Every structure is written in C-alpha cells, then in structure tokens.
Amino acid sequence: MSTLETLNLNFNSIEGRIPEVIGSLINLRELNIRGNRLIGSIHLSLSNASRLETLDISSNSLQGNIPEGIGNLHNMKLLGIQDNQLTISIPFRIFNISRIEVIAFTGNSLSGYLPNGLCNGLPIRKGLYLSTNKLHGHIFTSLSNCSQLQILSLSENEFDGPIHSEIGRLSNLQQLDNSIRLVNLTSLSSCVSRYLRFIGLTLNPINGVLPVSTGNISTSLTDFFADSCKIKGRIPNDFGNLSNLIDFSLSKNDLVGSIPTSFENLRNLQRLNLNNDKLTGVVGDILWKLHDLALSSNNIVGTLPPEIRNLKAVTQMDMSMNQFSNGIPRQIGGLQNLVHLSLRNNKLQGSIPDSMSNMVGLEFLDLSRNNISGNIPKSLEKLQNMKYFNVSVNRLYRKGKKAPQQVDSLSAITRKRISYYELIQATDALSESNLIGSGSFGSVYKRYSQKWNCHCS
C-alpha cells in the first residue's frame, strides 16, 4: 500500500501495538487511530513517514516516551497523543515544527519543563493542550507570540510560576483552561479577544476580588468556571453583560452579598453553581428558568415560587442549607426529569405536596431539617426509582394521630426497594414501641415483623 495517503481507524476495538511497518508508508499524510486499545510504545519508525501532516493516536494505552524523531516531521500540522500513559519529558524539537498548529498532550504523565521560547516564530499555532501532566517550572514567556492561539489548556500540572499579563494580547483566544496563578485577573479582563468562549480557572489561587472589568471580557463567553479560587467580595453587577453565558460556576469561594439583579439579562443561562459561598438576599426570577441550579450552603432567603415549574429540563437541584421559608409549591410536581432534589436545612413549612408523586424520575429526595408538618403522602409510593428518602427532623406525624403524637423524623435508605406502605408496615406505623433510639439526625426503629427486611432511621 505504498501510495496510501490516509489511514483512519478511529474509535474501534483494535488491540496490540502500532505496527513498525507504518513508518514505511512514505506517502502517508494522515494517520488516525484514536480511541482504540493499543499498547506498547510509539515506535521510532513513525518518524520515517516524512509527509505526515496529521498524527492522532490519542485515547489508547500507549506507554514510554515520545520519540525525539517525531520532531523531524516537518510537515506536521496536528499531533494528538493525549489520554495515554506516556512519561518522561516532551522533546523540544516538536515545538520547533514550523507548520504545527495543534499540539495535544493532555492526560499523560509527561514531566520536565517547557522551553521559554515555545511560541517564538510559531504564530500559526492554534491549540496547545498540556493539561493533566506533571510538567513543572515557569510558564514560558513570549506567550503573545502565538498570535493565532485559540485554545490554551495548562491546568493540573506542577508549574510554579504565573501566567503574565501578555495573555491579554491573544486576540484570537477562544478557550483558557488554567489552574496556574495569573498575575492578576485584570490581565485576563483586558483580553482583547472577541472570540473568547470558555474560561476555566478552577483551583487557581486568585485570593482576591473579581474586577468589575471581568464582566466585559467578551460577549461571546459561554462558560466561566472559577471554583475553589479563594475569591472574595461580591459578584460584580457587570457580569450581567455576558449575555451569551450558559454555564457559570463560582462555588467554594468566599463570596458575599446577593446574586446581582443584572443576572436577569442572562437569558441563555442554563446552569448556575454558587454552592458553599456566603451569599445572602433573595433569588431573582431569572434563576427559576435554568436547566441546573446549585445554591447550597449560603444564607439565601425568600420563598420557592410557583415559577419553579419552569425548570423542566433540570436533573439536579441543590438548595440545601439556606433560609428558604414558607411552603413547597405544588408546581414542583411538574419537574418529571428531576433526579436529585435537596432542600434540607431550610425553614420550609406546610405539608409535602401530593403533586411530588408525579416526579417519576426522582432518585434522591432530602427534605430533612425543616418545619414541614402533616402526613407523608401515600401517593409517594409511586416513585419507583427512589433510592434515598429523608424527611427527618421535621414535624410530620403518622396518619390518624394529632400533633402531640407527632414523629420528628423519618428517613430511609434501603438495600431493597420497598413501597411507602411496606415502610409504614415495617415499623408498625412508626410505633414508639419499636423506637430504638434518637439522635441529632433522626430516630431509629426496629422492624415490626420478620416479614419485612428494611432499615429505617
């Protein structure tokens, strides 16, 4: 097959090693064997395929090092070796291939450092994927010389120096995935790229406030992640200018104040994660139209409005450990795609809506540590997918009894699925005669009959 120019075997179940004979295909321009089960090393013979422009051997189980000879493939435009088990350092000659546009080494165990002049004389480079390795040392200087760079991914390495302010001059940058310390966020907010869509700064030790100018980075921005960055202060109102934002996450920081009212302008927002911050205030109407919502461990007040029914696409909702009050709206029953719902540790009152029996996708339900009263609706036995059910530390009482005989807790984690009726039967309707003990998280009952095999607490 000496005239073969393209060999594409992506995403099959091919096993074994890369055949040495492939290096003798002197006319080969594209070799794509991504997503297979290849083992062994990258054979030096590949460096003999001198016309090779695309080499993608990602997502296999290749080991060893990257041969120095790969740096002699001067026609190379795309080199993809990510998601393997490669070790040792990256040959510097690879970074000197003048035609190369994309270098993708993410998800290996490559070590060593990067050359300072990595971008010198290589203005056409568009993608540099180096995340999840063991690279160390300082970040290369003259980053702005990669003037066509669109993707820069450097997170989860062992770099010990910052990315400097020159990143703001990358006018074509579309994606920044970085857990390395920026000199300051102002250098990022000065980015002149109108194409910037993705910013990932998770675990970046920012240890400061979000500059107001960050809200004016790019109207093209769709994703902004800055979790666990020690960010302080308030969320700037100018974030409402990011009109195309879809996914916004600032969890596990030290944010204070309320969610900006300008978020009403984020008409495309689908997911908001502000878990484990110190936010207060009320939740605006726009937030009840999202596809995913995580606001746990704050100090947010207000009620759950009927508009909660608009979250029809949501699968997970965590608003635990806040100050939500009043009742659970019956409209929540319309969320049939919801799998995980946690409203624990709030100040919710009233009864459990019977409409919740319509939430057929529900697997996890935690309403514990509220002031919910009344009976547990028998209709909830229709929730056949339920795996975790917790309504402990409330004011619920069993049917037919008045408030003085109320039972303060009921939760169940079952190894074998049982119905609501079976649960009540197993404990003799939560009879005090079957009460084993009580604690801060609820009460423990023994089963009433040998017929039933369940654990209730």
Domain residue extents for the chain: 305-457
CB-CB neighbours of 16 under 10 Å? 10
**pLDDT tens, 371-418?**
999 999 989 989 999 999 999 899 987 665 554 334 444 444 443 455
CB 60 within 8 A of CB 33: yes
CA distances from residue 175 to 129, 225, 302, 409 in whole angstroms, order as listed: 11, 12, 37, 49
H/E stretch holding 435: strand 435-439
User: Does residue 437 register a pLDDT over 90?
Assistant: no
Phi, psi of 189 (to 5 degrees): -70, -15
**pLDDT tens, 71-86?**
999 999 999 999 999 9
| pLDDT, position 207 | 84
Residue 179 and residue 225: Cα distance in Å, rounded?
11
Q: What mean pLDDT is predicted for residues 115-130?
A: 82
Going by pLDDT thresholds of 50, 70 and 90, the confidence category of residue 435 is low
| pLDDT, position 28 | 96
Short-list 113, 115, 59, CA closest to 86? 59
- Residue 183 has what DSSP assignment? S
Q: What mean pLDDT is predicted for residues 410-436?
A: 55
Residue 443 and residue 408: Cα distance in Å, rounded?
8
Amino acid at 2: S
CATH of domain 305-457: 3.80.10.10
Which of 139-148, 223-232, 251-260, 265-274 is least confident?
A: 139-148
Residue 402 and residue 392: Cα distance in Å, rounded?
18
Q: What mean pLDDT is predicted for residues 345-366?
A: 94
User: Does residue 34 register a pLDDT over 90?
Assistant: yes
CB 84 within 8 A of CB 61: yes
Q: Which is higher by pLDDT, 277 or 410? A: 277
Q: What is the dihedral of CA 353, 358, 360, 362, to 10 degrees?
A: -20
| pLDDT, position 408 | 41
Q: What is the mean pLDDT of the chain?
A: 84
Q: What is the dihedral of CA 13, 18, 19, 24, to 10 degrees?
A: 120
| pLDDT, position 314 | 84
| pLDDT, position 305 | 87
- The residue written with tokens 């004389």 in the block is 121
Report, in angstroms and rounded to the nearest whole number, the Rg of the chain calculated over CA atoms.
28
Residue 25 and residue 8: Cα distance in Å, rounded?
14
Going by pLDDT thresholds of 50, 70 and 90, the confidence category of residue 349 is very high
CA 176 to chain centre: 15
Which is it for strands 435-439 and 442-445: parallel, antiparallel or unpaired?
Answer: antiparallel
Residue 28 and residue 392: Cα distance in Å, rounded?
67
CB 258 within 8 A of CB 233: no
**3 state SS of 293:** strand
Q: What is the dihedral of CA 92, 96, 99, 102, to 10 degrees?
A: 30
